[in-house]
Amino acid sequence: MTRESTLSIRRCAKDDWEDLRTIRLEALADTPDAYGSTYEESVRWSNAQWKNAASTRLYYLADRDGRVVGMVSGGYNEAYPGTRWLYGMYVTPRERGTGTAALLVRTIGEWARSHGVSEVYLHVTTSVPRARAFYEKVGFRPTGESFEMYRDQSLTLITMVQRLD
Ligand SMILES: CC(C)(COP(=O)(O)OP(=O)(O)OC[C@H]1O[C@@H](n2cnc3c(N)ncnc32)[C@H](O)[C@@H]1OP(=O)(O)O)[C@@H](O)C(=O)NCCC(=O)NCCS
């Protein structure tokens, strides 16, 4: 008899800091180009820093059968007043193509809608074509804006926006 697999998404709380660290460090090691921070700087964070991040920033964790398999963050961007942004998107390789990533995007859309906005923005690096294709598939469109990534000017970021229903 095979047991049914269970996927859940939960808002990250202080007690989830070890899961947050696990999946964030995995993301930074797996796809370094995709993120504004690096594995090398994040691996040096203290437990207190992870606990602080887990409890003060807005993260959602995807859990499959008790194991963290993905994450996403929602937040603001001072350069674009009044907007809501999707950051830190990641699903572990075995979870790709399953719909978990789309569920994480939907979760950020619900959070943004609860703030009274009708759009979600993100930046994506042009060197991660799978991410770009995924965002297009779930309804994000390029705004036309592009620029160099602050920490590595060899990388180009584009801005995408998703209109919420
Ligand atoms: C980006 C990410 C969250 C998307 O989740 P996912 O489960 O892989 O996404 P999906 O499989 O649903 O969609 C990806 C699409 O890209 C396509 N694709 C796969 N590899 C591709 C490539 N090299 N180039 C272009 N498209 C590609 C897939 O065919 C799929 O489209 P389809 O469903 O129409 O066939 C996940 O791949 C990931 O975590 N990647 C590493 C981290 C990352 O890049 N994060 C983005 C930060 S901005």
Sequence spans of domains, the chain: 7-163
Question: Does residue 98 carry a pLDDT above 80?
Answer: yes
Question: Does residue 2 carry a pLDDT above 90?
Answer: no
1 CB under 6 A from ligand 1?
no
Q: Whose CA is nearest to atom 21 of ligand 1?
A: 130
Q: Please, are residues 132 and 124 in contact by the beta-carbon 8 Å criterion?
A: yes
Q: What is the pLDDT of residues 17-62, one digit of tens each?
A: 999 999 999 999 999 999 999 999 999 999 999 999 999 999 999 9
Superfamily of domain 7-163: Gcn5-related N-acetyltransferase (GNAT) (3.40.630.30)
155 CB under 6 A from ligand 1?
no
47 CA distance to ligand 1 middle (Å): 31
- What is the model's pTM? 0.97
Count, residues in the chain: 165
What is the average per-residue pLDDT within 1-16? Answer: 91
126 CA distance to ligand 1 middle (Å): 13
Q: According to the model, what pLDDT value does residue 151 have?
A: 92
103 CA distance to ligand 1 middle (Å): 14
Q: Which atom of ligand 1 is nearest to the CA of 101?
A: 5
Q: Please, are residues 157 and 148 in contact by the beta-carbon 8 Å criterion?
A: yes
128 CB under 6 A from ligand 1?
yes
Distance in angstroms (rounded) separating the CA atoms of residues 116 and 96? 31
Q: What is the pLDDT of residues 53-78, one digit of tens each?
A: 999 999 999 999 999 999 999 999 99
Model confidence at 105, in pLDDT bands (50, 70, 90)?
Answer: very high
Question: Does residue 1 carry a pLDDT above 70?
Answer: no
Q: According to the model, what pLDDT value does residue 165 have?
A: 81
Q: According to the model, what pLDDT value does residue 63 have?
A: 98
Question: Does residue 3 carry a pLDDT above 80?
Answer: no
29 CB under 6 A from ligand 1?
no
Q: Please, are residues 130 and 92 in contact by the beta-carbon 8 Å criterion?
A: no
Q: According to the model, what pLDDT value does residue 15 have?
A: 98
Residue whose C-alpha is closest to residue 91's, from 58, 68, 108: 68
Longest dimension (CA), the chain: 54
Q: Whose CA is nearest to atom 11 of ligand 1?
A: 97
